[in-house]
Amino acid sequence: MKNKSNEIHEICAKAEASLKKTAQIQQALAQLEATLSRKEDQKVTEKAKKT
Domain residue extents for the chain: 1-51
Please say if the pLDDT value at position 30 is more than 90: yes
Q: How confident is the model at residue 50 (pLDDT cuts 50, 70, 90)?
A: confident
Please say if the pLDDT value at position 41 is more than 70: yes
Percentage of the chain surpassing pLDDT 90? 82
Give the ranges where the chain is alpha helix by DSSP (H): 2-50
pLDDT of residue 3: 86
Q: The pTM is what?
A: 0.69
Q: How confident is the model at residue 51 (pLDDT cuts 50, 70, 90)?
A: confident
